[in-house]
Amino acid sequence: KQEVTQIPAALSVPEGENLVLNCSFTDSAIYNLQWFRQDPGKGLTSLLLIQSSQREQTSGRLNASLDKSSGRSTLYIAASQPGDSATYLCAERPEADRGSTLGRLYFGRGTQLTVWP
């Protein structure tokens, strides 16, 4: 069974810092990996999706990388802002779903980020 782990569980930083959130998975047979943001009492918002054939994706101040061989993904947030405060979740879609348009996701427990002014 695929296990997805996120470290750290919580992170508190001052505004302006660059930071890295980590995600690891036990089975390298993944189809793709996504990073989501969750605000308190809200649903999840997709941030970045990396296909298994890709090494990284960028969107604004966010950069996500994927290293299948080591079973790791990182989310890099540049010049953090208080508005970045949220819980960040990574989720992998298994290789077993390749060839299927079904998109089951397996989630980590998340990293709760607080950026203070």
Burial letters 45-66, b for 16+ CB under 10 A, else e: eebbbbebeeeebeeeebbbbb
Please tell me whether residue 89 binds another protein under the rule CB under 8 A.
Answer: yes
Q: Which of the ranges 16-24, 59-67, 71-79, 95-103 carries the binding residues for another protein, by CB under 8 A? A: 95-103
For another protein, give the closer residue by CB, 66 or 91: 91
Please tell me whether residue 61 binds another protein under the rule CB under 8 A.
Answer: no
Q: Which of the ranges 10-18, 59-67, 68-76, 96-104 carries the binding residues for another protein, by CB under 8 A? A: 96-104
How many angstroms separate the CA atoms of 4 and 44, rounded?
17
For another protein, give the closer residue by CB, 18 or 46: 46
For another protein, give the closer residue by CB, 25 or 80: 25
Beta strands in 1-117 (DSSP E): 4-7, 10-14, 19-25, 30-38, 44-51, 56-59, 62-67, 72-77, 86-94, 106-107, 111-116
x/- binding map, residues 26-55, to another protein, per CB under 8 A?
--------x-x----xxxxxx--x------
